[in-house]
Structure 1
Amino acid sequence: MSNDLVNMIGNLGFPIAVSVYLLVRLEGKLEVLTQSINNLSKVIDKSSED
């Protein structure tokens, strides 16, 4: 049982680590994208008022 668990962690550890790394990076990029969309929305609102 213990040997199987160690083997499973060895086989799955790298893909899990890569997935977590990519999710963390993607979260930061999504935050920047959200801010850009909000800024664009404000600019469009201001230009439609004129």
Structure 2
Amino acid sequence: MDDTQTISLITNSISNFGFPIAITAYLLTRFEKKIDGLNSSILELTQTLRGVQNKNHE
């Protein structure tokens, strides 16, 4: 394979797979922020429920 074919193969690979990879990276970063928010909410809810449970046992 000569240099022209190699460059053509690399260019075609980037054009075929670059867009899906970019979209995947974008979505993963968006979902990561949402998952962090959900995790914080779950931890806060757990602490609140423990407080309520402790008040009921007193």
Normalising by the residue count of structure 1, what TM-score does the alignment of the two structures yield? 0.96
Say whether residues 1:5 and 2:16 are aligned partners: no
Who is 1:40 aligned against? 45
Say whether residues 1:19 and 2:36 are aligned partners: no
Matched pairs, number: 50
- Please give the root-mean-square deviation of Cα atoms over the aligned residues, in Å: 0.5
Distance 1:18 1:2 in 2: 24
Runs of 4+ residues deviating >3 angstroms? none
Secondary structure of the corresponding residue to residue 19 of structure 1: helix
Secondary structure of the corresponding residue to residue 26 of structure 1: helix
Normalising by the residue count of structure 2, what TM-score does the alignment of the two structures yield? 0.83
Q: Percent identity?
A: 36
Query: Which structure: larger Rg?
Result: 2
Q: Which ranges in structure 1 are unaligned for 5 or more consecutive residues? A: none
